[in-house]
Amino acid sequence: MPVPNSQENMSRCVCGSCPSYLEGDSGFFCSLGKSQKSLEKKGCICNTCGNWEEVGLSAGYYCAEGRAE
Ligand code: SF4
Ligand code: SF4
């Protein structure tokens, strides 16, 4: 399910605390799309994010796989 690109949804993003997150990256990948950086999958904490239940997400790793559809 798409995640609306709103300030409220962006503020819920916990990517910055994720082991796969690279410093300086955008975060909010479920809405903005995948990272431009070359990252390694070291775990995904999307399921602890407020948007996970709110929007009904189920995949994770949006930084590597692209936005939620
Ligand atoms: S679901 Fe993941 S990518 Fe989307 S806002 Fe939450 S932590 Fe960020
Ligand atoms: S999308 Fe998931 S794996 Fe990628 S940085 Fe955010 S929480 Fe981590």
Ligand closest to CA 41: 2
Instruction: Please list, in sequence order, all residues whose beta carbon lies within 8 angstroms of the beta carbon of residue 1, skipping any fewer than 6 positions away.
Output: 55, 56, 57, 68, 69
Q: Quick check: is 29 in a domain?
A: yes
- The answer to whether residue 1 scores a pLDDT higher than 90 is no
18-48: pLDDT as tens digits: 999 999 999 999 999 999 999 999 999 999 9
Whether residue 34 is contained in a domain is answered as: yes
Identify the residue whose tokens are 């479920």.
30
Which ligand sits nearest to residue 13's alpha carbon? 1
> How large is the average pLDDT for residues 58-68?
97
Domain count of the fold of the chain: 1
User: Closest Cα to atom 2, ligand 1: which residue?
Assistant: 46
The parent domain of residue 33 ranges over 7-65
